[in-house]
Amino acid sequence: MPFLIAAFFITALLYASVGFGGGSTYAALLALSGLDYRLLPVLALACNIVVVAGSSVRFARAEVTPWRGALLLTALAAPAAFLGGLTPIDEATFMLLLGASLVLTGITMLMPTADGSDAMPMQFARYVGVVAVPLGYIAGLVGIGGGIFLAPLLHLTRWNNARAVAATASFFILVNSLFGLAGQLIKSGSGVLSGAVAGGFALLISVAIGGQIGSLLAVRVLPLRWIRWLTAALVTIVGARLLFGF
């Protein structure tokens, strides 16, 4: 457990520094620890909510959240996240989706990004639904927030500047995680939440502290590019281990 607590703390710090919650890596770490896979989405989503709730408040106070675009993206994705949470899934498919999601995420995070200061956010609205809806569904199904897939796309399309994208991803993850958790609890019963939280209370405290430090770094200190590379390496290694068992 001490190793898992430390791993969750570092994950929350790294992910929060780029506007993410870390749900994908929490789920992977829990899977590697041998926890019942049916509890993974619930505990991962709970950790996600703890991290991005603090990050979203910090980004909002710093006035870097582009609310019009963030609300549009989230409104489209959240119902799909709820449906994803309701969808039954077997263990083999869950592990395959989670591992593939992590590897894809690591690759996309290594792609070069543009400054985006001259971007026109609402130009993206013509096709944002095509992106947001499936991302929301996958997020609810696997137990992540989906922002880790959304953010690279926003960077590549020059949707906005780097800190605005991080703030949008954080809010996107928060709402999707809440809707996804609701779907998971309806599917599995509220007793799953109490069991997951009771067994993972120390992990929730760990990510709360790590997330606050990470979001502070995102707003005031570190170049986002450095943290993106570290996070990309982390998720790629964990995802490859889930897929190939090494």
Q: Quick one: pLDDT band at residue 111, thresholds 50, 70, 90?
A: low
Enclosing domain of residue 154: 2-244
Domain count, the chain: 1
Q: Tell me the pTM.
A: 0.78
Interhelix angle 128-142/147-156, rounded to 10 degrees, is: 160
CA angle 5, 232, 212 (to 5 degrees): 45
Give the residue carrying structure tokens 């620890």: 33
With 0-12 CB in 10 A as exposed, 13-18 as middle and 19+ as buried, what is 129? Answer: middle
pLDDT tens digits along 147-195? 777 877 777 677 777 778 888 888 999 998 899 888 888 887 767 777 7
d(C-alpha 93, C-alpha 115), whole Å: 37
d(C-alpha 199, C-alpha 172), whole Å: 27
What integer pLDDT is reported at residue 20 of this predicted model?
Answer: 81
Q: 40: which 2 tokens?
A: 């993974």
Give the residue carrying structure tokens 């995420």: 105
